[in-house]
């Protein structure tokens, strides 16, 4: 009997691809319900109605009104009721309700992960009705190619993936309970202490992550450099210079370094022994999301968010597999040879692909990490036509890593000569490539550090053409960049592959951290330091890790979601009670930091009129326009004000105009700074105007 099946996808672009793949002729009809486009595909006798969401159409809100805490009474509602997302969500919900009329079956075709499973479930439950759940099935796919989508349709799960849905639902509810309650507690404590409202946020993953940055900053600030000495030497063989390595990498005392320099400088060395060994470097495993983000940062300095966004665009265009994966493995179900045949048609990859196609067996190098939902990130073989710079870079990385993981190991010969110089031992090191293997496939992202040595013989004498002893100092641990902070979050098992980059972005957005080399701001430092003193559980890595494990146990079926939410409330309640007891102290300490930050950000210089007040950036509450005025205008003892540019951020230079003594400000046009006197009536400006 013919069926009318409603298929829910996550995004409009995936709806179009799925509709084309599942239609028998590859030419589905595209129609509109109001402003929402949907597609009708014919598959045998069945009619498939394919319509997309816009990510989450439903979210969590509190029952009732108010902005206090604690709040534990919550419900799921359309995102527009929470003031979130764009206004099109209402149109999509209404369209899905209309299109569900007369449906005899339902399919969740959203991305196969926690978020995708939850998106389709909430739409089916709240927009269509709970009667749809018993008639719902689940497509599982890792690429948006026609072959993968058809295989997914023919082998879909007979029911929704309820353990994954339960874990996703619990994660959202847990994060909401922590995030809303703790953020309100922070914001309200500051308002109570200062009378001003400032939106602050902290959460069960935000807190520990910010604490990592704060602790690293403390390590750097308290680090005491220890001096040590290093011997640098050089020899010459056949008119070519070669560095020599002293047997001790570090000398703790200067006198020892001087003794070595005195004994060896200007002398000759004798080769006492020559050793060589073969070193095999296995090919790298294929990327998971974290590996891809770190490699893109290393090679292109792309931040993790930009890498993920580019990878998702490539996935939605069916150029690579699903990127939000933890796996470093390529299962046998993937037709590696077919992907290589397709890549061989692309001139950029043809040479390496053809070499690999000549192999009788294709055995990828597998990593240790696995993901039950998706394989490692790999190309589909389809050839991109137009890509932005970021997408082009990420695609090239993915393809070349795929080619590299199928290639042979690299083999090098390591050579070391032991050189005696007046009783002191030095090493002459060389390296020769015997088989470049996977390194050929991964160019230019790997460098073969080959150091070729001339023929060496035991007893050969070598001149010491250069020798010096240099004082060095031990270094503090480096500051995090976004890539290394992401790795630490992974290693500490806080957050997920899908949420970690968002957490880091939030820390930037709240001005808790700043810079490509991550530094904690005064505000971020104040929040962590205050919470360490009065409410340390909020920033506990152990508590966050335990909650993450609970969510994994839900997904594996070892724990019920309701139990986890009940335990979340039991964990959160005493934290919030202790917070309320110390709210005044917490608010006062953070308020002082905010006040200092306000002055730093808005101070332009001393007032040239009264000489006592400060010229500060202000905002007109009625017009919303910025201006600058003396702080003494509030008590009426000064009336100095200045107009400001409205579309450019203004910075203080710390300088005064030599003509009128007004503060000199700085603005940027592109990357070029421009300094000017704040006083529009400055005589120098009148002269320039004339």
Q: Residue 594: inside a domain, yes or no?
A: no
Q: Residue 175: inside a domain, yes or no?
A: yes
Q: Same structural domain for residues 135 and 237? A: no
> Can you name the residues that pair with 663 across neighbouring β-strands?
656
Q: Same structural domain for residues 235 and 205? A: no
Report pLDDT digits (tens) over 108-147.
999 999 999 999 999 999 999 999 999 999 999 999 999 9
Q: Same structural domain for residues 274 and 421? A: yes
Q: Same structural domain for residues 304 and 270? A: no
Query: What CATH number did the domain enclosing 17 receive?
Result: 3.40.50.140
Q: Same structural domain for residues 463 and 543? A: no
Q: pLDDT value at position 634?
A: 87
Token duo for residue 425: 């031992």
67-81, 218-232, 340-354, 617-631: the lowest-pLDDT one: 617-631
Alpha helix ranges (H) inside 139-253: 146-154, 162-194, 206-222
Radius of gyration, CA atoms only, the chain:
32
- Laid out side by side, the sheet with 29-33 consists of 29-33, 36-43, 46-52, 4-9, 105-108, 136-138
Contact 630, 614 (CB under 8 A): yes
Q: pLDDT value at position 687?
A: 53
Q: Which residues contact 449 (CB under 8 A, 6 or more apart)?
A: 431
Q: Residue 530: inside a domain, yes or no?
A: yes
Distances (CA, A) of 230 to 82, 465, 476: 62, 17, 18
Domain end (from 589, 615, 638): 589
Whether residue 447 has a cis bond before it, omega within 30° of 0: no
pLDDT of residue 422 exceeding 70: yes
High-pLDDT (> 90) share of the chain, %:
79
Residue 194 banded pLDDT, cuts 50, 70, 90:
confident
Structural domain of 491? 169-221+479-589
Query: What CATH number did the domain enclosing 466 receive?
Result: 2.70.20.10
What is the DSSP pairing of strand 46-52 with strand 4-9?
parallel
Q: Same structural domain for residues 114 and 150? A: yes
Q: Same structural domain for residues 120 and 192? A: no
Residue 84 banded pLDDT, cuts 50, 70, 90:
low
Q: pLDDT value at position 341?
A: 97
State whether residue 331 is helix, strand or coil.
Answer: coil
pTM: 0.88
Q: Which residue has the higher pLDDT, 408 or 668?
A: 408
395-399, 416-420, 618-622: the lowest-pLDDT one: 618-622
Q: Which residues contact 306 (CB under 8 A, 6 or more apart)?
A: 296, 390
DSSP string, 257-291: HHHHHHHHTT-EEEEEEEEEEEEEEPPPPPB-HHH
pLDDT of residue 481 exceeding 50: yes
Q: Residue 602: inside a domain, yes or no?
A: no
Q: pLDDT value at position 690?
A: 34
Whether residue 444 has a cis bond before it, omega within 30° of 0: yes
Q: What is the mean pLDDT of residues 625-648?
A: 89
pLDDT of residue 572 exceeding 70: yes
Report pLDDT digits (tens) over 487-507.
999 999 998 888 899 999 999
Short-list 154, 146, 153, 139, CA closest to 338: 146
Short-list 164, 168, 187, CA closest to 176: 168
Q: Residue 599: inside a domain, yes or no?
A: no
Short-list 393, 522, 505, 373, CA closest to 445: 393
How many domains, the chain? 5
58-67, 90-99, 222-231, 311-320: the lowest-pLDDT one: 58-67
Q: Which residues are catalytic?
A: 322
Query: What CATH number did the domain enclosing 368 receive?
Result: 1.10.290.10
Angle at 99 between CA 96 and CA 101, to 5 degrees: 115
Q: Same structural domain for residues 48 and 113? A: yes
Domain end (from 405, 430, 454): 405
pLDDT of residue 539 exceeding 50: yes
Q: pLDDT value at position 252?
A: 94
List for the chain the helix, strand, coil content (%; round to 5). 40, 25, 35
Q: Residue 597: inside a domain, yes or no?
A: no
195-199, 355-359, 611-615: the lowest-pLDDT one: 195-199
Q: Residue 601: inside a domain, yes or no?
A: no
Whether residue 70 has a cis bond before it, omega within 30° of 0: yes
Place of tokens 């790298």: 284
Distance CA 437, CA 549 (A): 40
Report pLDDT digits (tens) over 211-255.
999 999 999 999 999 999 999 999 999 889 999 999 999 999 999
Short-list 449, 460, 352, CA closest to 404: 352
Token duo for residue 316: 């939605």
pLDDT of residue 451 exceeding 50: yes
Q: What is the mean pLDDT of residues 344-369?
A: 95
Q: pLDDT value at position 193?
A: 87
Short-list 507, 430, 489, CA closest to 206: 507
Residue 579, φ and ψ in degrees, nearest 5: -65, -45
pLDDT of residue 265 exceeding 70: yes
Q: pLDDT value at position 689?
A: 39
> Can you name the residues that pair with 470 across neighbouring β-strands?
230
Q: Same structural domain for residues 25 and 149? A: yes
Distance CA 549, CA 486 (A): 19
Report pLDDT digits (tens) over 597-608.
888 888 998 999
Distance CA 565, CA 178 (A): 11
pLDDT of residue 378 exceeding 60: yes
pLDDT of residue 384 exceeding 60: yes
Q: Same structural domain for residues 428 and 376? A: no
Q: Which residue has the higher pLDDT, 149 or 686?
A: 149
Q: Is the dihedral of CA 302, 306, 309, 310 positive or negative?
A: negative
Q: Residue 139: inside a domain, yes or no?
A: yes
Domain end (from 379, 405, 431): 405
């Amino acid at each position: 009997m013919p069926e009318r099946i409603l298929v829910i996808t996550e995004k409009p672009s995936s709806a179009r691809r799925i509709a084309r793949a599942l239609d028998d002729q590859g030419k589905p009809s595209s129609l509109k319900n109001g402003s929402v486009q949907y597609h009708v595909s014919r598959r045998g006798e069945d009619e498939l109605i394919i319509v997309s969401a816009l990510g989450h159409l439903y979210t969590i809100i509190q029952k009732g009104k108010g902005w206090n805490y604690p709040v534990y009474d919550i419900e799921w509602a359309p995102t527009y009721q929470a003031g979130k997302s764009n206004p099109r969500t209402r149109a999509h919900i209404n369209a899905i309700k209309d299109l569900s009329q007369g449906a005899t079956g339902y399919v969740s075709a959203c991305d196969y992960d926690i978020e995708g499973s939850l998106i389709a479930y909430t739409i089916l439950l709240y927009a269509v009705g709970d009667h749809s759940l018993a008639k719902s099935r689940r497509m599982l796919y890792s690429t948006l190619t026609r072959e993968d989508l058809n295989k997914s349709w023919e082998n879909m799960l007979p029911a929704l993936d309820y353990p994954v849905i339960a874990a996703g639902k619990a994660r959202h509810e847990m994060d909401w309970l922590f995030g809303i309650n703790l953020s309100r507690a922070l914001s309200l404590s500051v308002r109570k202490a200062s009378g001003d409202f400032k939106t602050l946020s902290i959460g069960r993953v935000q807190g520990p992550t910010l604490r990592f940055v704060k602790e690293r900053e403390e390590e750097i600030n308290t680090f005491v450099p220890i001096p040590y000495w290093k011997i640098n030497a050089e020899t010459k063989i056949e008119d070519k210079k070669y560095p020599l390595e002293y047997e001790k990498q570090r000398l703790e005392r200067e006198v020892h370094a001087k003794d070595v320099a005195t004994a060896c400088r200007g002398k000759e060395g004798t080769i006492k022994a020559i050793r060589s060994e073969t070193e095999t470097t296995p090919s790298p495993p294929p990327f998971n999301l974290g590996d891809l983000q770190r490699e893109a940062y290393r090679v292109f300095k792309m931040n993790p968010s930009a890498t993920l966004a580019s990878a998702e665009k490539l996935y939605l265009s069916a150029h690579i597999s699903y990127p939000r994966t933890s796996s470093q493995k390529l299962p046998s179900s993937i037709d590696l040879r077919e992907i290589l045949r397709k890549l061989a048609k692309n001139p950029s990859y043809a040479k390496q692909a053809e070499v690999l196609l000549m192999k009788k067996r294709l055995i990828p190098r597998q990593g240790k990490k696995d993901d039950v939902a998706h394989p490692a990130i790999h190309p589909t073989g389809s050839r991109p036509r137009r890509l932005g710079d970021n997408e082009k870079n990420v695609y090239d990385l993915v393809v070349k890593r795929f080619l590299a993981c199928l290639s042979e190991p690299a083999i090098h010969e390591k050579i070391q000569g032991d050189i005696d110089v007046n009783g002191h031992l030095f090493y002459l090191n060389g390296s020769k490539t015997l088989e470049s293997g996977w390194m050929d496939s991964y160019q230019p992202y790997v460098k073969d550090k080959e150091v070729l040595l001339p023929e060496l013989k035991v007893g050969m004498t070598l001149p010491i053409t250069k020798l010096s002893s240099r004082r060095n100092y031990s270094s503090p641990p480096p500051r995090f960049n976004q890539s290394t902070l992401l790795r630490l979050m992974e290693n500490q098992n806080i957050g997920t592959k899908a949420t970690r980059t968002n957490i880091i972005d939030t820390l930037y957005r709240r001005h808790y951290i700043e810079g490509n080399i991550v530094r904690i701001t005064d505000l971020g430092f104040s929040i962590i330091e205050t919470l360490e003193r009065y409410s340390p559980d909020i920033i506990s890595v152990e508590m966050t890790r335990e909650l993450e494990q609970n969510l994994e146990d839900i997904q594996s079926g070892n724990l019920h979601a309701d139990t986890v939410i009940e335990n979340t409330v039991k964990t959160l309640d005493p934290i919030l009670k202790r917070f309320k007891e110390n709210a005044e102290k917490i608010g006062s300490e953070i308020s002082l930091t905010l006040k200092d930050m306000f002055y730093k950000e808005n101070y332009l210089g001393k007032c040239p009129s009264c000489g006592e007040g400060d010229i500060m950036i202000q905002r007109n509450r009625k017009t919303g326009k910025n201006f600058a005025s003396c702080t003494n205008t509030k008590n009426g003892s000064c009336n100095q004000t200045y107009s400001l540019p409205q579309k450019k951020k203004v910075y203080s230079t710390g300088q005064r105009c030599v003509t009128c003594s007004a503060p000199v400000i700085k603005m940027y046009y592109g990357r070029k700074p421009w300094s000017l006197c704040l006083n529009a009536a400055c005589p120098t400006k009148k002269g320039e105007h004339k």
